[in-house]
Amino acid sequence: MFSLDIDHLKNAYASGSLTPAQVLDQVYDRIASMGERPVWISLIPKDQALAQLQQAPKGRLWGIPFAVKDNIDVAGMPTTAGCPDFAYTPSRSAFVVERLQAEGAILIGKTNLDQFATGLVGTRSPYGICSSVFSPDHVSGGSSSGSAVAVAAGLVSFSLGTDTAGSGRVPVAFNNIVGLKPSKGLISNRGLVPACRSLDCISIFAGTCADALAVLEVAGVYDPEDAFSRNAAQAGPWPDGFRFGLPMGKLEFFGDTQAEALFAQAVERLHALGGQQVYIDFTPFAQCAQLLYSGPWVAERLAAIDDFANTKPESLHEVVRGIILGAKDISAADGFKGFYRLAELIRQAETQWARMDVMLLPTTGTTYRIDEVLADPIRLNSNLGAYTNFVNLMDLSAIAIPAGFRPNGLPFGITIMGRAFQDDAIAALADRLHRALPSASLGGTGIALDSTPPVVAAANEKIALAVVGAHLAGQPLHHQLVERKARLRAVTRTAAGYSLYALADTQPAKPGLVFDGLGAGAIEVEIYEMDAAAFGSFVAQIPAPLGIGTLTLADGTLVKGFLCEGHATRGATDITAFGGWRGWLAR
């Protein structure tokens, strides 16, 4: 079995040792050997996949096979959300699928899930029960069960799942793969059947952190058609001496002493990477986790499928029906009380975040056999969410990685969590921790992790850039900074002597900053930093009469920034007195 990791396939295509068509042959042979059910709900026929390849652009993911969870739309394919009576066939693919295919990725099919993404176990589907690739008797984890197994079994290079309460992380722990749960809004949810629309994240399953980041690089683009999409710069990598938080007191492993020992080993490996351990009060996080299913967010699950659930309740899986229809008793007043309580818990958690850069937790405290979950579906599912349920409620980023095997051969996993939009930073740290694991392999394939390239750390050298107008946060050209992963460093003002003009006949409207020694100064600027390559591509698209020069800030610091050719100010409006572009716009 050859590896389907993205770097290996790209190198093989470049050298001619493999072609994408040969890879698709192998993918369909592997699927035929394993069987279509229960991993797949809809499989694209091989001849259609080959036709897709013929039309695929030769972009960053050309010839890379992938799968999507079947609550994500693909044009011309049924979307079931794990419920046959709910199925519909969209005419347009989800935004994230469009992005991936525009870069040449080849869709293989749509995968099984806990119905309506309600569950962390993978047992709540009429299309069959997925099991861990390491044991037919143990749960695969859910709700993104099929997506995780497809990667772990070596059927695709990566897959898309979703994550509301932990569905992009729990299956990772049971299948020895990587799961990147991006910050809310970083990947557009347009074309996703919602579970809790305000919390849902489309997640990425892969064999390595590097592959997950390669997919995020393509998929994590602002979508103006999604009301929950967010524009944000990513954080830089953590330096040595980073602080990782651990809960004070004894963690709950539900009697799984083998998992407890593996977690202790992961803590020691993080120490060896230069981490400084700090103990935190886990109470606000634990109480927040309980809100997800005991609070009003269950009503949001009902809102997602209200008409269908009320007209065809018999079509719902028994356990899912009990959870979703139970929300009918939740009042609007309960909803507001839940929001207030969440705000209180987030404020309490701020004190703990001030003491740490990242948090380290078990992904799950234990695992279960399928028959155990079927006999006690609610309690055991709740146990699996003890360390996952609070993450989206608190607007955190997270990445789950393997952390070794129990003596019985079942895998164990850990999760690194950071603040919102620290996805790149925590993934780089997670990759180092993953690679510190002895004899690490990709899923259940037996392919060694060290045969794949690590995450390449961003260059330490950053270039600071001052922006004054259409590139400010919230302005029309700010996306050009976001696309280059520019990071906001400061909001400040220029030194005296600068004048600001509203230029005539520019689209979008732009100001021009000129040093003439006359202006009162104190012009508002935002300082961003980016790597040299990003800076170069940014500067290349700046139109005359604007350009990049050296600005002096109020504290005397020199920084690169936007300046305007003097001739362009003739006939322009002097807006210096407004103190900046935003002040002028708000006039």
Mean pLDDT of 374-380: 97
Residue tagged active-site, from 3, 69, 181, 485: 69
pLDDT in tens, 429-455: 999 999 999 999 999 999 999 999 999
| Cβ-contact 200, 158 below 8 angstroms | no
Q: What distance in Å separates the CA atoms of residue 437 and residue 243, rounded to the nearest whole number?
A: 20
The pLDDT of 227-250, averaged and rounded, is 82
Q: Give the Cα separation of 472 and 510 in Å (integer).
A: 11
Residues 265-284 pLDDT 10s: 999 999 999 999 999 999 99
CA-based nearest residue to 179, from 404, 423, 482, 449: 423
**Alpha-carbon gap, residue 213 to 455, rounded angstroms:** 8
Helix axes 332-353, 283-294, angle to 10 degrees: 160
Question: How far, CA to CA in Å, does 433 sit from each of 378, 399, 401, 444, 572?
Answer: 33, 12, 9, 19, 56
Residue 237's pLDDT is 64
> Is residue 486 pLDDT above 90, yes or no?
no
Q: Buried b / exposed e across 55-66, counting CB within 10 Å, b at 16+?
A: ebeebbbbbbbb
147 is known as an active-site residue: no
pLDDT at residue 239 tops 80? no
Token pair, residue 30, equals 């592997």
Q: Tell me how far apart the alpha carbons of residues 544 and 27 are, in angstroms, rounded to a whole number.
A: 51
Tell me how far apart the alpha carbons of residues 63 and 474 are, in angstroms, rounded to a whole number: 36
pLDDT single digits (tens) 382-391: 999 999 999 9
What single letter denotes the amino acid at residue 518? Answer: L
Q: What is the DSSP letter of 73?
A: -
DSSP letter at 553 equals B
**Domains defined for the chain, CATH in brackets:** 6-451 (3.90.1300.10), 463-585 (3.10.490.10)
Percent over 90 (pLDDT), the chain: 83
What pLDDT, on a 0 to 100 scale, did the predictor assign at position 240?
67
Tokens standing for residue 267: 């803590």
458 has a pLDDT exceeding 50? no
The catalytic position among 93, 131, 143, 159 is 143
3-state secondary structure of 484: coil
**Are β-strands 106-111 and 65-69 bridged in parallel, bridged antiparallel, or unpaired?**
parallel
Strand ranges in 436-557 using DSSP code E only, listed in sequence order: 463-467, 487-493, 497-502, 511-519, 524-530, 546-552
Q: Which of 205-214, 270-279, 568-577 has the lowest mean pLDDT?
A: 568-577
Could you read off the pLDDT of 53-104 as tens digits, one per residue?
Answer: 999 999 999 999 999 999 999 999 999 999 999 999 999 999 999 999 999 9
Q: Which of 140, 147, 167, 382 is catalytic?
A: 167
Tell me the CA distances in angstroms from 446 to 152, 156, 197, 400, one per residue in order: 10, 15, 37, 19
**Is 69 designated active site?**
yes
Q: Is 125 assigned a catalytic role?
A: no
**Average pLDDT taken over every residue of the chain:** 94
Which range (134-148, 211-225, 342-356, 547-561) has the least confidence? 547-561
* Cα→Cα distances 81→70, 106, 124, 193, 275, Å: 5, 21, 11, 7, 41
Residue 236 pLDDT: 60
Task: Give first-to-last CA distance, the chain, whole Å.
Answer: 66
Q: Confidence band (pLDDT; 50, 70, 90) for 462? A: confident
The tokens 């393997």 sit on which residue?
402
**C-alpha radius of gyration, the chain, whole number:** 25
The closest alpha carbon to 356, from 259, 247, 445, 461, belongs to 247
- What is the SS3 assignment for 313-376? HHHCCHHHHHHHHHHHHCCHHHHHHHHHHHHHHHHHHHHHHCCCCEEEEECCCCCCEHHHHHHC
